[in-house]
Amino acid sequence: MDQSPPRSSSVTVADVARKAGVSKATAARVLGGYGTVSDHVRDAVTAAARSLNYQPNELARSMTTGRSGTIGVVVGDIENPFFSLAMRGITDVARQTGFTVILINSGEDADAEKSAIRTLLAKRVDGLIVSPAKESDADHLREAARSGRPLVLLDRGSETLDIDTVIADDRHAAENITRRFIALGHRRIAYLTACDTPDHRFRAPTDINTGSVRRRIEGFLDVCQKAGLERMEDWVHVGAVTPEHTYRIATVMLKSSRRPTAVIASDSVIGLEVFKVCRELGLTIPTDLSLVSFHDADWTSVTTPPVTVVRQPVYGLGEAAAKLLVERLNGNSAEATRVVLKTEIVERASVATAPA
Amino acid sequence: MDQSPPRSSSVTVADVARKAGVSKATAARVLGGYGTVSDHVRDAVTAAARSLNYQPNELARSMTTGRSGTIGVVVGDIENPFFSLAMRGITDVARQTGFTVILINSGEDADAEKSAIRTLLAKRVDGLIVSPAKESDADHLREAARSGRPLVLLDRGSETLDIDTVIADDRHAAENITRRFIALGHRRIAYLTACDTPDHRFRAPTDINTGSVRRRIEGFLDVCQKAGLERMEDWVHVGAVTPEHTYRIATVMLKSSRRPTAVIASDSVIGLEVFKVCRELGLTIPTDLSLVSFHDADWTSVTTPPVTVVRQPVYGLGEAAAKLLVERLNGNSAEATRVVLKTEIVERASVATAPA
DNA sequence: TTGAAAGCGCTACCAT
DNA sequence: ATGGTAGCGCTTTCAA
C-alpha cells in the first residue's frame, strides 16, 4: 500500500480529512465516533486514518470536552499490601468503565497529599479517590470536593466531613477483638499503630488523625472501660511508622516486666514485626502472648501458629470507592454517602487465655 | 478582600490578565514562569491570580508544549508484591523529577497490554515503562519505541529487542540455586512458574514468553544438563497463574510417587502456595522437600522453617527504570541500554540434602 | 518589558 | 449527511 507511515504523532484529523477528501468536521465525526456519517464516507475516512496511522490526541479531546477520562488516586504507600490490593479494586473498575488511573503516593504526609491533589486537579482528572493522611486539616479535601470534581475518601475520613466515604467497620472489629481478649482473662492489652502524635505518646483518641485507626482505638478503649479496665490509654503505642520503628517499640514493650499478654496490631506490617520480635525474645504465641492483626495478609496463614486476623474487604473497599466515583461522574448527585463494609475475624491460633 | 472566589475551574489566564490590567501574554508569562516580566507586573498578576484562585490547566499547557509531565506504567498486576514494590521505586523517582504516573494493569494479557499502550500514547504520556506480558509479539513495543516517546522495559524483555531494559540477573540466580540443589544430592528438582503455554505443558524454554522466567529456566536446564541430569524439562511446571491453579499443580506434583525432592518457585505467590500444600500433605521442609522461592517476600522469614529465597532488588528495578526513562526524557539519546541488577540468595532453612 | 495574534488538535454548533 | 467555523486555555513567535 503506502510506504513508511509518517511519524504518528503529527497526523491529525485535518490530515486524515484531506487524504479522504472530506471536511475536517466529517473526518472528526467518524474518528471521534459521534454525529452521523454515510457508510461510504465512513469507510473512506477509516481507510485514510489507517493508512496514515492516525492516533487520536486525547489531550486535545479532553480540552474541548472538559472530560479527561482519568481519575486521580492518592494513597499513603502503594508498597503496603493494603493499598496495593485496594488499588487493584480501583483499577479494575476503572478499566471496566473506560477510565484511566493516575496514582500518587502521599507517603502519609499531609503536605505531599495537598500538592498531589493540586497536581491532579491541574491535570483535570474527572474525579478523585483519596486516602487522607490526616483528617485534622481537611480544607484541601473540602476544597477539592467543591471544585466540581467528585471526591471519594477511601478507608479514612471523619464523620464531620460531608464527602463520599468508603470504609470498613473498624470500630466494630476492634470492639470484638477486645471483648474476646477480656473474656479470655487478658488485662494488659496493647494496641500498636503507625499513626503518630507530635510527642510520640498517646493520650486520647482525638490525638489520632487517621479515621479508621481512631475508630478502632475508640472501640478498644470503650470496651476496656466498660469492663472496668482503667488507664488503658497507656497501652496504646503510636509511631510504628516503619518496620524498624515497630521493631524498637515492640522490643521495649515485650521486654518490660509488665509486658502485655495480648497485642492488637493495627496493620499487617506491624503484626509481622511483632511476630518476629516474639520469636527473637523467645516468647511463645499464644501461650505467652496473644496476637491479633488487622489485615488478612498472606503471611498470617503460614506462620506457626497461624495468626488470627481481622479480614477487611480491602479489594472491595477500592472497588466500592471507584464505583461510587463513577456513579458521581455519571451525574448521580445525591447527598454524600458513607459506605461501611463489613469486616470478619478469621480465627486461627494466635489467641489463648491469658497466662497466669 | 473579595467575596466568594469563583468556581476555580473557569478561571483562566485571560481572567487573571483582565483583573491585573495586563495582556494575556504577560499574565501567562508570570503564571507559567517563563519569559521576562517586571517585578511590578509580576506582583500584580500574582495577586490577581490568588484572589481569583487561579488554577492552571495542565491539559492546555500540555497541548501547546507537547509535554504532559506524565509517564505511563504498564504492569502485570499491581496486587503482586513484586510490582507494587517496583511501582514504589518508579513513583518515588517520578515525584522527585516532577513527573506524574499513570498506572495500567495488563493482567498479564498481551491484548490488554497493547490497548494500554495505545491509551497511554493517546494521552500523550512523555514516556513509558512496561513490563511486557509476552515477548513473542513485541510489535507494539517496537512501535511505541518508534513513536518518539521513550520506552523502558521492566524486568522482562528479550535480547533481540533494541529497547532500554532493566532486569535482574535471573539466569545467574537460577543457576546458583540449581547447582546448590544438585550438590546436595537432589535429582528430582521441579520448577514452578505462572507463565503458561497453549497446552499447559512445557517442552523448551522457547515456549516461555516472559524473558525473566525464560532466562531462569534456561539456567536451570543448563546446569542440570551439565550435571548429567536428563529430561529435566519434564520437571518444569507452567500455568500457576493463580493461587488456585498453583494449589492444584503443587498438590498433584507432591502427591505423585515420583515427587520432587526440591522445588524452585518462580515468585513469592507460588512459593507461598507450595508451602501451604506441603503442610497440608504433611511433608516436612526441608527434610522431605527443599524449597527456594524467588522474591524475598515478607512471609518467607517468619515461617517454620523460614524459606531460602532469591532476593531481587525490586525497588531498585523500578527506580532504575524510571531514572533511565527520565534521562531519555532529558535528551539522552545514546543507544539502548540494558541494565542488569544483581540478585542475592538469602540462605534460610528450607534447603537440605536430598532425602535418601 | 509588553502586547497582539497565531496556533496546538480536537469538538460542537450552526448552516447548508 | 456534510461543511464551515468558533472556540477550549495555554504557549510562543513577532512587533512594538
What pLDDT, in 10s, does the model give residues A187-225?
999 999 999 999 999 999 999 988 899 999 999 999 999
Q: Report the C-alpha gap between B153 and B321 in whole angstroms.
A: 7
A257, part of any domain: yes
DSSP secondary-structure letter at A79?
A: T
All residue ranges of chain A with pLDDT < 50 are: 1-8
Estimate the share of chain A in helix, then strand, then coil, as percent rounded to the nearest 5: 45, 15, 40
- Asked whether residue A147 falls in the same domain as residue A203, the answer is no
CA distance B252 to chain A (A): 20
- Asked whether residue B266 falls in the same domain as residue B191, the answer is yes
pLDDT at A334: 84
pLDDT at B7: 46
- Asked whether residue A59 falls in the same domain as residue A98, the answer is no
pLDDT at B9: 61
Phi-psi region of B188 (alpha: psi -120 to 50; beta: other; left: phi over 0): beta
A163, containing H or E segment: none
Crossing angle (nearest 10°) for helices A13-20 and A39-52: 120
Q: Residue A97: which of A316, A345, A330 has the closest Cα?
A: A330
Q: List, edge to edge, every strand of the sheet that includes B127-130.
A: A338-341, A164-168, A151-154, A127-130, A70-75, A100-105, B100-105, B70-75, B127-130, B151-154, B164-168, B338-341
pLDDT at A9: 61
- Asked whether residue B203 falls in the same domain as residue B163, the answer is no
Collapsing DSSP states into helix, strand and coil, what is residue A23? coil
What is the rounded average pLDDT of the residues B286-301? 96
Beta bridge partners of B309: B293, B346
Q: Could you report the per-residue pLDDT of B107-136, keeping only the tens digit for each?
A: 989 999 999 999 999 999 999 999 998 887
CATH number of the domain that residue B50 is part of: 1.10.260.40
Q: Please give the residue that has the higher pLDDT: either A137 or B247.
A: B247
A66, with CB counted inside 10 A (0-12, 13-18, 19+), is exposed
Query: Which one of A50, A65, A80 terminates a domain?
Result: A65
**B18 CA → C5 C1’, Å:** 17
Quickly tell me which residue has 528450607 as its cell.
Answer: B350
**CB contact residues (below 8 A), chain B span 118-147, against chain A:** 118-119, 121-124, 147
pLDDT of B63 strictly over 90: yes
- Asked whether residue B210 falls in the same domain as residue B249, the answer is yes
Judged by CB atoms closer than 8 Å, whether chains meet at A56 and B122 is answered as yes
Q: Say whether residue B78 is in contact with chain A using an 8 A CB cutoff.
A: yes
Cα of B140 vs its chain's centroid, Å: 18
Q: Is the CB of B167 under 7 A from strand C?
A: no
Q: Residue B189: which of B216, B162, B212 has the closest Cα?
A: B216
Q: Say whether residue A62 is in contact with chain B using an 8 A CB cutoff.
A: yes
Q: Say whether residue B111 is in contact with chain A using an 8 A CB cutoff.
A: no
**CB contact residues (below 8 A), chain A span 146-185, against chain B:** 147-148
B186, part of any domain: yes
Crossing angle (nearest 10°) for helices A81-96 and B81-96: 90
Q: Residue A91: which of B290, B328, B78 has the closest Cα?
A: B78
- Asked whether residue B88 falls in the same domain as residue B175, the answer is no
Q: Say whether residue B301 is in contact with chain A using an 8 A CB cutoff.
A: yes
A199, with CB counted inside 10 A (0-12, 13-18, 19+), is exposed
- Asked whether residue B185 falls in the same domain as residue B58, the answer is no
Q: Could you report the per-residue pLDDT of A54-67, keeping only the tens digit for each?
A: 999 999 999 999 99
- Asked whether residue A240 falls in the same domain as residue A292, the answer is yes
B72: nearest CA partner in chain A: A102
pLDDT at B5: 45
pLDDT of B4 strictly over 80: no
- Asked whether residue B55 falls in the same domain as residue B81, the answer is no
CA trace torsion A252, A255, A261, A262 (10° rounding): 30
A248, containing H or E segment: helix A243-255
Q: Name residues 38-77 of chain A with a Cβ under 7 Å from nucleic strand C.
A: 54, 56-57, 60-61, 63-65
Residue A202 main-chain phi, psi, to 5 deg: -105, 135
pLDDT of B19 strictly over 50: yes
Q: Say whether residue B57 is in contact with chain A using an 8 A CB cutoff.
A: yes
**A64 CA → C12 C1’, Å:** 9
Q: Say whether residue A105 is in contact with chain B using an 8 A CB cutoff.
A: yes
Judged by CB atoms closer than 8 Å, whether chains meet at B8 and A147 is answered as yes
Q: Report the C-alpha gap between A51 and B347 in whole angstroms.
A: 57
Q: Could you report the per-residue pLDDT of B168-227, keeping only the tens digit for each?
A: 999 999 999 999 999 999 999 999 999 999 999 999 999 998 889 999 999 999 999 999
B305 residue type, one letter? P
Residue B182 main-chain phi, psi, to 5 deg: -65, -40
Q: What domain count does chain B have?
A: 3
B349, part of any domain: no
Taking a C-beta distance cutoff of 8 angstroms, is the pair B207, B193 a contact? no
What is the rounded average pLDDT of the residues B275-280? 96
- Asked whether residue B131 falls in the same domain as residue B231, the answer is no
B254, part of any domain: yes
Q: Report the C-alpha gap between B151 and B148 in whole angstroms.
A: 9
Distances A137 to A110, A133, A157, A160, A161 between C-alpha atoms, Å: 9, 10, 11, 12, 11
Neighbours of B190 (CB within 10 A): 23
Query: Which one of A65, A82, A109 terminates a domain?
Result: A65
Judged by CB atoms closer than 8 Å, whether chains meet at A148 and B7 is answered as yes
Judged by CB atoms closer than 8 Å, whether chains meet at B79 and A100 is answered as no
CATH number of the domain that residue B74 is part of: 3.40.50.2300
Substitution target in A62, A103, A115, A283 with the highest count of B β-carbons within 10 Å is: A103
Domain of residue A107 covers 70-167+314-341
- Asked whether residue A27 falls in the same domain as residue A50, the answer is yes
Any residues with CB less than 8 A from the CB of B336 and at least 6 apart, and which?
A: B162, B163, B164, B165
A354, part of any domain: no
B204, part of any domain: yes
**A97 CA → D9 C1’, Å:** 28
Query: Which one of A65, A86, A114 terminates a domain?
Result: A65
Beta bridge partners of B189: B262
pLDDT of B8 strictly over 60: no
Picking from B58, B77, B301, the nearest residue to A124 by CB comes out as B58
CA distance A28 to chain B (A): 15
B348, part of any domain: no
pLDDT of B3 strictly over 70: no
- Asked whether residue A89 falls in the same domain as residue A154, the answer is yes
B218, part of any domain: yes
- β-strands A344-346, A308-311 pairing: antiparallel
